[in-house]
Amino acid sequence: MSVRRRSGGFTVSMSDTSSCPCLRARLRPYRQIEPIRYGKRVVGRPRRYGRRVIEIGLTGGIGSGKSTVAALLVERGAVLIDADVIVREVQEPGTPVFAAMVERFGPGIVAADGSLDRAAVAAVVFADREQLEALNGIVHPAVSDEMTRRRQALAATDATVLLDIPLLVESKYSGLAGVIVVDVDPELAVERLVRHRGFAEEDARARIGRQASRDERLAVADFVIDNSGDLEELRAQVEKCWEWIGSLERPEPGGPVEPIRGRNAASG
Ligand code: ATP
């Protein structure tokens, strides 16, 4: 390796150190200077100067603008762990979760191309509470394990980790340094879901109705982003939110990463 680092007033190249045990020992902390990556993207760097990883939750009702806010925070340097993306990954054909779902709900939930027919799953579980609990029992442990694995991979970095967990309130997650709630009038969320995301109005309303209320969500918020304005206004609030995150004290490095395992959660 030929990366240059300052050491005791000298700038040395890592490749210079192989023959010098003394320098090798002094430079040991710099040995792991490679950034940590998910795929090609750099998501964190080994901890420097006492800075530590911090984990912030992001939540909001369906269509409130979580993904839009998450993307803006990622632009500013946050590392995103998205529960919805993980749900989709653990349900890919060939996974144990996919197999367990087919066993429980039958081949009717498999689309012609072999993937999961999400509409068929929704039709089964939203009509029957017991089936919904069965689904949660299959999916949630796998999602929780995968989230823990990703958080663990970042635990020794100084990353600002954003955990986008739509059902954070319903699931009573805890242990985060702060919770951001994206707040919007449910009527506006319905309008946006219908206009931009192709939802049927009735479906959008039914999904909102199954989630925690606006007040329940606001009750757990450490920072509220009001997304009732246009995208420019949202951007300005995200900027303030990023400053707020920067002002938070980073927690002491602890032992192993505790799983954030939800209770009472419902998919929606
Ligand atoms: P879900 O719960 O389904 O994951 P979400 O909370 O992530 O939804 P987004 O997908 O970010 O919500 O936003 C819903 C739709 O509303 C998107 O099409 C998005 O582009 C649009 N949208 C978000 N915020 C605004 C805004 N301030 N002005 C106009 N459109 C917006």
pLDDT tens-digit profile of 114-165? 999 999 999 899 888 899 999 999 999 999 899 989 998 898 888 999 999 9
Alpha-carbon span 66 to 147, nearest angstrom: 18
Q: Provide, rounded to the nearest whole percent, the portion of the chain with pLDDT above 90.
A: 60
Spatial distance between the Cα atoms of 210 and 169, rounded to a whole number of angstroms: 12
pLDDT band, residue 174 (cuts 50/70/90): confident
Using the atom order of ligand 1, give the atom closest to the CA of residue 84: 4
pLDDT digits (tens, 9 = 90+) for 23-57: 454 444 444 445 556 566 665 655 555 568 999 99
CB 169 within 8 A of CB 217: yes
Give 88-103 pLDDT, tens digit per residue: 999 999 999 999 999 9
User: Can you tell me which atom of ligand 1 is nearest the CA of 227?
Assistant: 27
**Separation of CA 197 and ligand 1 centre (Å):** 8
pTM of the model: 0.79
Mutation test of ligand 1: which of 163, 192, 232 has the most ligand atoms closer than 8 Å to its C-beta?
Answer: 192
Span 175-190, average pLDDT: 93
Could you tell me which residue, 109 or 174, shows the higher pLDDT? 109
Contact 157, 46 (CB under 8 A): yes
Q: What are the contacts of 113-117 at 24+ separation with CB within 8 A? A: 116/91
Q: Which residue has the tokens 């995103």?
A: 80
Averaged pLDDT of the chain: 82
The one-letter amino acid at 147: M
Burial of 36 (0-12, 13-18, 19+ CB in 10 A): middle
